[in-house]
Amino acid sequence: MEFSSRSRQKHLRLAGDRRELYPHSLQFYLEPPTESIALVEFESFAIDRLRLLKVVENLGVSCVRSSDSYKAKLESELRKLKFPYRALAEDDYEARRKDHISHFILRLAYCQSEDLRRWFLQQEMDLFRYRFSQLTESLMQKFLEHVNLSFEAVTEDQKLELAHELSASTPGLSVPKVKEQMFYKVGLVDAVDLFRTRRVFIKDGFAYVPFKEIDAIVLNNYRIKLSKALALTARSLPSIQSDERLQPLLNHLSHSYVGPDYSVQKNTGKISLEQIDALSVKSFPLCMRQLHKALRDSHHLRHGGRMQYGLFLKGIGLTLEQALEFWKKEFIRGKVDADKFDKGYAYSIRHNYGREGKRTDYTPYSCMKIIMSNPPSQGDYHGCPFRHSDPELLKQKLQSYKVPPSGITQILELVKGMHYQLACQKYFELTHEVDDVGFSLNHPNQYFTESQRLLSGGREPKKELSNSGNSQQKNNSQESMNSNLTPTSSNTTADAELEGLEAYFTED
Ligand code: SF4
């Protein structure tokens, strides 16, 4: 792919119309795009695919994959984002092109670490599985030929001759059902999973695979190809990293979330310092609750914690004056005296609010940034507890926050599957007593905003909060509520600028 400025975009798009490249709406993404593409389009394609994969991840945990609601929700998202949503439409060149290019952009962004590769592979596999299942029989056949997986169909005569063997070796298929099904002769290498689990009839070095099992073979083939491609792409990273236009974009994507950046607050000054303790219990996500508690307990946070928590507090509405008062009051209760605070720490807080240095209005960290970068070490409290805590410690913490045992088990399962944001959503559901979180979590400040909206009656809770602690929380929240807590801003983040800011936070 080559990249161009916006002004050349129209010309290049016309020149690059290559319908013959996409004979099918589905593909294994074997050939990278070779056309020129504007950086604007590059970024918008990538962000749309990231949105789509996040929906795939969410649905994969909240719905049964073969259920009608899973299919309906995924189709609706594909339509909304203008990706090919059904293989039936022949004239969906734009959607196919977007699908192809966006896959390769995210492949570049998500090949950079083992965690990213695994996440990308999982979501792409789920997306492929859904789209393959939507193909009609003839389109499926056409697709198999397209990807060189055209297996020989077993003739009617052969099938009748082997009907009893096929029925006995294929779970769930009676002889009459065998007669209705198409069977394919598949080489053993392609059918390893099926014959290992004794789900197919084997004869003369071929597995006799019923049509309904072909998807397992195709998916396995796709998984192998995509895993290899990701590993190969990772090896070519040094050359990609030397492209100064591309690297910041790819880094941004792999640390990115899609939503507001919470750098502009409509609620600035509407939260009092006295409310923070109560808010930390009822409306802070676990990462911020942990930081707040550590600050109150030890009257200090190291610089990673001050950055993460300070920008979050700014995002929920603390003014610069409030922030200075908040941090100073707490620090001087520990080992830092007022003079040292004014000289050492006040500057960095003003910097945080864009009043010093480059005067940039810094953005609170998204979940992806917290999860993917700067892991905490001994004595640190920043990071994401779902990602960075030992499971046993996480379990104890959740127990101490009165999360029910069954909920803890669900959270730990999600953590085990590396679905950290989904684990956090589950924590939200359990602590707010709602059945469905109703949003896709990407940002700690989004968690706070949604919590406040729910507690203020903006959304219906599952049932009346029953224990006195929770009732108290609800009352408090209603007092502190304001309906304008959702900030609006552009999608841009200031990761690069934050690195500059971190230099000001050298003092532990
Ligand atoms: Fe914080 Fe996001 Fe982790 Fe939740 S998922 S604890 S909001 S970083």
Q: What is the pLDDT of residue 90?
A: 60
| 447 CB within 6 A, ligand 1 | yes
- Binding-site residue set for [4Fe-4S] cluster: 287, 367, 384, 424
| 287 CB within 6 A, ligand 1 | yes
Q: What is the pLDDT of residue 429?
A: 94
The residues near 353 (Cβ < 8 Å, ≥ 6 apart) are: 314, 320, 323, 361, 362
Q: Whose Cα sits closest to atom 3 in ligand 1?
A: 384
| 38 CB within 6 A, ligand 1 | no
256-284 pLDDT, tens digit each: 656 666 765 567 778 899 999 999 999 99
What single-letter DSSP state applies at residue 418? T
- CB count in 10 Å sphere of residue 242: 9
| 260 CB within 6 A, ligand 1 | no
pTM of the model: 0.65
- At position 442, the amino acid (one-letter code) is N
What single-letter DSSP state applies at residue 344? I
Structure tokens at 69: 């609601």
Q: How far is the centre of ligand 1, averaged over its atoms, from the C-alpha of 7 (Å)? A: 40
Q: Whose Cα sits closest to atom 5 in ligand 1?
A: 421
CB of 157 closer than 8 Å to CB of 231: no
Q: Does domain 39-144+221-254 have CATH number 1.20.930.80?
A: yes
Determine the residue of 61, 387, 424 to mutate for testing ligand 1's pocket, defined as the one with the most ligand atoms within 8 A of the Cβ atom. Answer: 424
| CA distances (Å), origin 308, targets 134, 294, 361, 365, 498 | 44, 13, 15, 6, 11
Structure tokens at 317: 């509405």
Backbone angles phi, psi at 38, to 5 degrees: -75, 145
Q: What is the pLDDT of residue 114?
A: 81
- What is the spatial distance between Cα 285 and Cα 422, in angstroms, rounded to a whole number? 12
**Which atom in ligand 1 lies closest to the alpha carbon of residue 370?**
8
Q: How far is the centre of ligand 1, averaged over its atoms, from the C-alpha of 371 (Å)? A: 8
**What are the structural domain ranges in the chain?**
39-144+221-254, 147-215, 274-456
Structure tokens at 344: 């050492």
Q: Estimate to the nearest angstrom the gap between the alpha carbon of 265 and the chain centroid.
A: 25
Q: For the purposes of burial, counting CB atoms within 10 Å of the CB of 502, is it exposed (0-12), middle (13-18) or buried (19 or more)?
A: middle
Q: How far is the centre of ligand 1, averaged over its atoms, from the C-alpha of 24 (Å)? A: 39
Return the H-helix or E-strand segment holding 291: helix 286-298
| 311 CB within 6 A, ligand 1 | no
Q: What is the pLDDT of residue 479?
A: 30
Stretches where the chain sits below pLDDT 50 are 4-15, 461-508
Q: Is the dihedral of CA 316, 285, 425, 498 positive or negative?
A: positive
Cα 329-332-337 angle, rounded to 5 deg? 135
**Which atom in ligand 1 lies closest to the alpha carbon of residue 384?**
3
166-223 pLDDT, tens digit each: 999 888 888 898 888 889 999 888 888 788 888 899 999 899 999 878 888 899 889 9
Q: How far is the centre of ligand 1, averaged over its atoms, from the C-alpha of 464 (Å)? A: 26
Backbone angles phi, psi at 389, to 5 degrees: -90, 150
- CB count in 10 Å sphere of residue 194: 23
| CA distances (Å), origin 84, targets 54, 77, 131, 265 | 17, 10, 9, 37
Rounded to a whole number of angstroms, the CA Rg of the chain reads 27
Helix (H, G, I), strand (E, B) or coil at 83: coil
